[in-house]
Structure 1
């Protein structure tokens, strides 16, 4: 970014891998935490190593599964071992209101006008546009699913299904499977009767569900035959296809939204963290990232430079947005905690 002077020279990136509890110990260098797997490998190539080299600063890498409780403990105790985290929209908004994240200095970060709508937030900068969709192995499934109704139809397509072990995404998909139109999903889900309807539909499928928590699991389960189809982040499937897997994605009925970079309140590396966020917003860096794993870029200049074949895997491509559902972030900010509590109680029964 023009607002920051980048030093030239190479400083090796320090990598730490989450072991046991996965927590990074207090370190003198900035710690960036992502979701692991192919997505974080792409970030390493496009963001972590180039930023470390350009900025002349060291960076430690770790991973998690989005556990907000861990971040809250750090902030509440004043023992902040992480600095920058990749985080989903509703968790960012809720945590920002609760004072868990630093307010970003957008005048310092710069180039906010190049970013897509909603990418610029008080406590976050959009890292990517993701999509959660149905995926299946084209070699193992003779009849491809076309909708969430097919996903729920165990007579038409027998076998286990993979779903993420959270209320978010699944309640929307359950209503789509039950015949609710895309444009009506959140108006239905905003009523007690609509929530009951979504949980009732999930209960129908519950005996056939294999729950995933890490983003790498769906593609692995499809490859091993553990599930016949699964919800998954589209970029994970694109990466698997690039590596030779014969997997397919069902775009109609997919749900899309953004992950963000946020700086944990109490970080000892706020200035470096903001330089990192500025670096990841640059068009060159984002094009390089999408070339590694085809999630949607957040910089409009990067989107305009994508190869057409690559753009076919990007969630924000016009053909992939047809029949897709944008995540209603305010809904999940307002209702996420209560719905996740209800979901956890339901899933444990």
Structure 2
């Protein structure tokens, strides 16, 4: 009986130990590296809890599939804002009480320290990222400077690459066509505005490669397959600064938004997931992530702690989407717009893509 009891206790300990591990799903590439360095390694060092990172082209898609199948294998996922709102509305995510989030170093509550809109019922923002476009300076020494230039194949010949989807592409097309950033969504809310955006995309459709994973755009540029590409700003920064690629970011017409951590409904290690999420979104950790990639932290108190890149010499501030010089013609992505219209506009986008 004693042996049975001992065996049972040992097995319970193993089960408890195994259940304490955390699995985080993110976007891969240099972005995942920044999270591993800033969040995961320090968390494991401090707690002894093993954190595993898994990659997805867009984590919202597998999260929805897992919850619907009642087979959730990840504890925390990194998603875009409109997806966080939609998944929460559909009951796919755990609610997150902001009381679990640490205050700023000066005692300011998390609810006041995060940037406006950065906390939602089911999600906690980590970064401000931007969809921009970039080009190879060896192909265009003088360089394009405006969003209109991206769509101008005569002035700047060569293949383009864009994300395979409606979001950001439609907004950029309208800005290229002269719509001021402040009016983009009011124009896109009309059938005529959507037609106008697609007619701009028509100009470059036959010369465009469509990417799906964030690591693809810098690779397409590096391989010489395209002369310009839309991309997440941090991926271009990483390729240019870490790898010395001759890439230049064009900030005109950037579309910026939050990325957020969520906990899928039915996460296997819910309590440990909450602890990890609270740790990863504290002031220091969000500032630390900016040492590894050029995304702005979602907490006000983190801003003053952002300094040099991990190379010890590159000032990060000029490479942030939120730098004043980069915000002169910038568009905040409207999650309200995309929560309501994502399915409809992507259906149209896919039909447009399939048509000759």
Does TM, scored on the shorter chain, surpass 0.5? yes
From the superposition, tell whether residues 154 and 119 of structure 1 become closer, same or farther in structure 2 (CA, over 3 Å): same
In structure 1, what is the equivalent of residue 195 of structure 2?
196
Q: Matches of 1:166 and 1:28 in 2, distance apart?
A: 37
DSSP 3-state at the match of 1:304: helix
Q: Does 1:292 find its partner at 2:298? A: no
The one of 316, 321, 324 equivalent to 2:322 is 316
The one of 100, 104, 122 equivalent to 1:108 is 100
Q: Matches of 1:302 and 1:152 in 2, distance apart?
A: 37
Q: Matches of 2:302 and 2:21 in 1, distance apart?
A: 30
In the TM superposition, what is the alpha-carbon distance from 1:197 to its structure 2 partner?
Answer: 1.1
In the TM superposition, what is the alpha-carbon distance from 1:110 to its structure 2 partner?
Answer: 3.5
Unaligned runs of at least 5 residues, structure 1 = 1-25
The one of 35, 46, 55 equivalent to 1:54 is 46
Q: Which has the larger radius of gyration?
A: 2
Mapping of 1:63-212 within 5 angstroms?
A: 63-66=55-58, 68-111=60-103, 112=110, 113-212=112-211
Q: Matches of 2:299 and 2:47 in 1, distance apart?
A: 21
In structure 2, what is the equivalent of residue 328 of structure 1?
334
In the TM superposition, what is the alpha-carbon distance from 1:45 to its structure 2 partner?
Answer: 0.7
Q: Matches of 2:188 and 2:265 in 1, distance apart?
A: 33
CA RMSD of aligned residues (A): 1.6
The one of 308, 322, 345 equivalent to 1:339 is 345
In the TM superposition, what is the alpha-carbon distance from 1:56 to its structure 2 partner?
Answer: 2.3
In the TM superposition, what is the alpha-carbon distance from 1:139 to its structure 2 partner?
Answer: 2.2
Measured against aligned partners, the alpha-carbon deviations of 1:318-343 in whole angstroms (never above 9, x if no partner) come to 11111111111100011111111111
Runs of 4+ deviating beyond 4 Å: none
In the TM superposition, what is the alpha-carbon distance from 1:212 to its structure 2 partner?
Answer: 0.9
In the TM superposition, what is the alpha-carbon distance from 1:181 to its structure 2 partner?
Answer: 1.2
Q: 8 Å contact 2:74–2:268 — kept in the other structure?
A: no
In the TM superposition, what is the alpha-carbon distance from 1:77 to its structure 2 partner?
Answer: 2.1
In the TM superposition, what is the alpha-carbon distance from 1:138 to its structure 2 partner?
Answer: 1.5
Q: Matches of 1:300 and 1:28 in 2, distance apart?
A: 31
Q: Matches of 1:68 and 1:318 in 2, distance apart?
A: 31
Q: Matches of 1:203 and 1:41 in 2, distance apart?
A: 36
In the TM superposition, what is the alpha-carbon distance from 1:140 to its structure 2 partner?
Answer: 2.4
DSSP 3-state at the match of 1:53: helix
Q: 8 Å contact 2:20–2:269 — kept in the other structure?
A: no
In structure 2, what is the equivalent of residue 217 of structure 1?
216
Scaled by the length of structure 1, what TM-score is found?
0.89
The one of 16, 26, 31 equivalent to 2:23 is 31
Q: 8 Å contact 1:84–1:264 — kept in the other structure?
A: yes
Unaligned runs of at least 5 residues, structure 2 = 1-17, 104-109, 309-314
Q: 8 Å contact 2:60–2:79 — kept in the other structure?
A: no
DSSP 3-state at the match of 2:178: coil
How many pairs are equivalent? 324
